Amino acid sequence: MRAINPATGESFGDEFARSTRDELAQMAEAALEVVDVLADAPSAQLAGFLDDFAMRLESDRDEIAAIAHAETALPLTPRLREIEFNRTTGQLRMAANGLRDESWREVAVDANNNLRSTLVPLGGAVLCLGPCNFPLAYNGVSGGDFCSAIMARNPVIAKAHPSHPNTTARMFAHAVAARDAASLPPASVQMFFDCANEDGEALLAHRGVAALGFTGSRAAGVRLKSVCDALGKPASLEMASINPVFVASNALTARHDAIADAWTASLLMAGGQQCTKPGVIFVSGIDAAARFIARAEHNARAVAPAVLLSESIRTYLSDSISAWKNVGASIRCGGNASSPGIRWEPTLLSVDAAFAALHRDLLHHEAFGPLGVIVICDSDAQLVEFARALDGQLAGTIVSDASDANTRHALQRALRFKVGRMLDEAMPTGVVVSNAMVHGGPFPATGDARFTAVGLPASAKRFSKTLCWDRCRA
Amino acid sequence: MRAINPATGESFGDEFARSTRDELAQMAEAALEVVDVLADAPSAQLAGFLDDFAMRLESDRDEIAAIAHAETALPLTPRLREIEFNRTTGQLRMAANGLRDESWREVAVDANNNLRSTLVPLGGAVLCLGPCNFPLAYNGVSGGDFCSAIMARNPVIAKAHPSHPNTTARMFAHAVAARDAASLPPASVQMFFDCANEDGEALLAHRGVAALGFTGSRAAGVRLKSVCDALGKPASLEMASINPVFVASNALTARHDAIADAWTASLLMAGGQQCTKPGVIFVSGIDAAARFIARAEHNARAVAPAVLLSESIRTYLSDSISAWKNVGASIRCGGNASSPGIRWEPTLLSVDAAFAALHRDLLHHEAFGPLGVIVICDSDAQLVEFARALDGQLAGTIVSDASDANTRHALQRALRFKVGRMLDEAMPTGVVVSNAMVHGGPFPATGDARFTAVGLPASAKRFSKTLCWDRCRA
């Protein structure tokens, strides 16, 4: 396996080897040997490891960001070098703080019955599989799942994403240096580049692996979910979402251009390759919708073709647009591949409510990349019907004026059960790492609506088990 | 379907009908219609419902306990009439308090970013399937899952257990009266007696059902888990567990008789039909083990054959003992069915460590009823090896003297990852309903080691989803 620069289509850098099933089993065995060390390590030792790792990353900021840019074509600055980089080191330091202040461990004491309960580690490694689109902040060797797993005192086995192996190798070298400097055993943090699917499943089944942290496509996520479910091992799965936006009629009439501007900016950010991309917008009112669409189309036509992260994303996007075309949807603009490298034109589709309801599977189908679908509704009541019929979603946005209050409340009542994060006016891209963030939502957006993948300390609970000490002596 | 008195084997009482798939779908549709009512109801209304329900049950204590005794043959007093009854009404009142004080909803506020997150209801009914062995405190219409679901503001659809339909009908009548008195819509609490397996699965798949609460056998639990997993719906599954006891060598030498007394009392309580039955005891030291076994055998022989809850439990127990016999295990005492009705002799098996390790599948296989397995270990190191190789368990007990401290600590280190509740000296039967209780544990004891089925408020989190309000106006 070698990296590809998606802006040019050319491969570059080292060849990365595929690990064998035996090599993966050895990693799992090694992880099992260190679960007690991590569970019992002084907080300062683990926190120090994370702080030191963050500092080592910062000392190599320019080179890491440059490699990530070459592998992903995401904007070097401020996106990679500042925003995503600082989010990554910020998360590492939040996890370090969570190790120093373990108040998040849900300690409960019942003195009358001499019961004490608390969250403890899982007793095996967390297998961390990051996505293609956040090479730093979601990387298996440095991202949110990594932070959550270590904060919960579990060893990590990470798999590098094939779209950024060089970035991962470089970051992992810093993790290893920090791990060794902190005198943590080598199996505390391990990484491999590639494996056969069936060997990855064997790794999940190994008793040295206790849980999975995954961010990626629905197809891969559902496959891994079924493997973990059969094993009875917790899996944190962040998968696809259309993150719908609902625009009430009065707001649309009053502000169609501004709403179109906000939506297209959010939609096309990072080439539309964000898990929180507002992929579908439901607008209420035929006349205002026409003005909204004209403006959105104008905006999209002004944006250059996006560089996509990989050829497989381009194929998937192309297939998704073809599926809409095959049922007769009208393409407003874009719709074609571009060059050099792996590019795609900003693409908008519009459909009416009846057509959308007829093709709800397509409507609920996320397509990573610069594709937005506009659903023209006759009335606010139709907005609410679409909200009630939604699949689970990471996020949902309501755009409304004061005179739309009834619609807003009806949408809020519906969306609270459908989304992990409900936005009022704001577009969903841009996830603040905060103790009050929820980056989650019902299946199939994630595997379990009771957890969040972003926001420490809550995200560390995904990789903790609960334990009661019943009448135990000190 | 009619009830059977297991003490006599005779059926009695009303014939209960099987619900059709359409009837179940109507219940799910109706539940979906009331999710907003329950989510938005004043706390006092829901809390008042639960308090009133508890009071109505208490006003009918004698009759409910008498029916439950006739259906289960569990001791009328104090077990059913006092202990389990008071636990049931106590749980209802704890849930009422959890509705008045909603501080358990994990509210997090980030004022700088205008983020607020909290636990909210699931947006559909919780299907509550209680077990045979706790007709009151785990009943789908009154037990821990019912309390958790209502406290989390979800409608309940309960299925009566076939071993106590008359008890369930009587308790449900009080739930209905309290529900109506509180002006809650009928679909807030619904119940059915029986259905075909495939119709139950269709009910789980209905969008009006959001989650499952199940307590019962591993076979049924694993089947329901796979259904819920494929649907991506949360399932709380409390299944089988052997709840191992580990006795260190010095403690065994010093206290073999007292330990045998404590173990056999816990083992044979309620005919060994408790999910926390200490089904397997690992004892260290050949000579002391012989004395321990002699005492345990003496105790077991002094106990009358146990009345079992159902013919299927007797069949399963008989098959489990046959499986041990078939591989050559020696029966120390008991081993046979008895009469009248559905009875079984207290039965003890003993095996040595090598034999147990060779037949670990049998060893980890729970058999409800008065069966205990003694594993004779040469050394404390063998105890630790067995602990490290355990499946997930609800509970695990360590018996040790001061001079066994090293063994105790090694066992604690191993068991913390294997059990939901770790006991020091105390036998595992008897689960205190407390905020610090954990009645959980890794798969296959339950479906998810991150939750507890007993102990409010924590158990209500099983049936809640997390939601962030991102920059929302009031």
Q: Which of A161, A12, A178, A10 is nearest to A93 (CA)?
A: A178
- What residues of chain B lie within 8 A of the CB of A435, using their CB? 108, 110
> Which pLDDT score, from 0 to 100, does residue A27 have?
98
- Which residues 41-100 in chain A show a CB within 8 A of chain B? none
> Which residues 6+ apart lie within 8 Å of A143 measured at CB?
A88, A91, A128, A130, A134, A136, A137
Over residues A411-458, the pLDDT tens digits come to 999 999 999 999 999 999 999 999 999 999 999 999 999 999 999 999
Q: Where are the beta strands (DSSP E) in A314-370?
A: 330-333, 337-338, 343-344, 347-352
A431 part of a folded domain: no
Quote the DSSP letter at residue B13. S
> Which pLDDT score, from 0 to 100, does residue A418 have?
98
A436 part of a folded domain: no
Average pLDDT over residues A95-116: 96
Band of pLDDT at residue A363, cut at 50, 70 and 90: very high
Contact B268, B300 (CB under 8 A): yes
Q: Does B465 touch chain A (CB under 8 A)?
A: yes
Q: Check which CATH number belongs to the domain holding A66 and give it.
A: 3.40.605.10
Q: Check which CATH number belongs to the domain holding B304 and give it.
A: 3.40.309.10
Q: Tell whether A395 and A460 lie within a shared domain.
A: no
From residue B424, how far is each of A467, B366, B377, B378, B417 by CA, in Å? 14, 22, 20, 22, 16
Mutate to test the interface with B, among A231, A470, A473 (most CBs of B within 10 A): A470
B341–chain A nearest CA distance, Å: 37
Q: Tell whether B176 and B286 lie within a shared domain.
A: no
> Which pLDDT score, from 0 to 100, does residue B329 have?
95
Contact A240, A444 (CB under 8 A): yes
How many contacts, defined by CB atoms under 8 Å, are there between A and B? 195
pLDDT value at A158 more than 90: yes
Token duo for residue A449: 């609506």
Q: Tell whether B279 and B392 lie within a shared domain.
A: yes
Contact B71, B11 (CB under 8 A): no
> Which pLDDT score, from 0 to 100, does residue B410 have?
98
Half-sphere exposure of B445 (CA within 13 A, CB side): 30
Q: Tell whether B213 and B252 lie within a shared domain.
A: no
Identify which of B117, B442, B451 has the shortest CB distance to residue A436: B117
Q: Tell whether B192 and B292 lie within a shared domain.
A: no
Q: Does B121 touch chain A (CB under 8 A)?
A: yes
Q: Tell whether B362 and B412 lie within a shared domain.
A: yes
The distance from CA A10 to its chain's CA centroid, rounded to whole angstroms, is: 27
> Which pLDDT score, from 0 to 100, does residue B1 have?
85
> Which residues 6+ apart lie within 8 Å of B337 measured at CB?
B314, B318, B343, B344, B345
- What residues of chain B lie within 8 A of the CB of A432, using their CB? 110, 113, 115
A401–chain B nearest CA distance, Å: 11
A313 part of a folded domain: yes
For the CA atoms of A88, A94, A99, A103, what is the dihedral angle to 10 degrees? -150
Which segments in chain B show pLDDT lower than 70? Answer: none
- Which residues 297-336 in chain A show a CB within 8 A of chain B? none
B266 part of a folded domain: yes
- Can you give the pTM of this predicted structure? 0.97
Band of pLDDT at residue A473, cut at 50, 70 and 90: confident
Range of the domain at A147: 3-239+446-470
B431 part of a folded domain: no
Q: Tell whether A169 and A276 lie within a shared domain.
A: no
**What do you get for the CA distance between the two ends of chain A, in Å?**
53
Q: Tell whether B157 and B224 lie within a shared domain.
A: yes
A432 part of a folded domain: no
> Which pLDDT score, from 0 to 100, does residue A474 have?
73
B470–chain A nearest CA distance, Å: 5
> Which residues 6+ apart lie within 8 Å of B325 measured at CB?
B331, B335
Rounded-to-integer distance, Cα B289 and Cα B292, Å: 5
B29 part of a folded domain: yes
Q: Tell whether A342 and A403 lie within a shared domain.
A: yes
Q: With an 8 Å Cβ cutoff, are A226 and B230 in contact?
A: yes
> Which pLDDT score, from 0 to 100, does residue A182 have?
98
Identify which of A120, A426, A468 has the shortest CB distance to residue B421: A468
Q: Tell whether B401 and B383 lie within a shared domain.
A: yes
- Paired with A349 in beta bridges are A331, A373
ipTM over 0.90? The verdict is yes
Residues in chain B: 474
Q: With an 8 Å Cβ cutoff, are A467 and B120 in contact?
A: no
State the burial class of residue A382 (Cβ atoms within 10 Å of its Cβ: 0-12, 13-18, 19+): buried
Identify which of A39, A395, A466 has the shortest CB distance to residue B449: A466
- Which residues 432-461 in chain B show a CB within 8 A of chain A? 432, 434-438, 440, 442-444, 447-452, 458, 461
Average pLDDT over residues A320-331: 96
pLDDT value at A161 more than 90: yes
Residues in chain A: 474
Over residues A129-144, the pLDDT tens digits come to 999 999 999 999 999 9
Quote the DSSP letter at residue B7. T
Identify which of B122, B234, B392 has the shortest CB distance to residue A417: B122
Q: What percent of chain A has pLDDT above 70?
A: 100
Q: Tell whether A231 and A257 lie within a shared domain.
A: no
Q: Does B227 touch chain A (CB under 8 A)?
A: no
Band of pLDDT at residue A1, cut at 50, 70 and 90: confident
**Domain total of chain A:** 2
Average pLDDT over residues A366-379: 97
A280 part of a folded domain: yes
Q: Tell whether B277 and B161 lie within a shared domain.
A: no
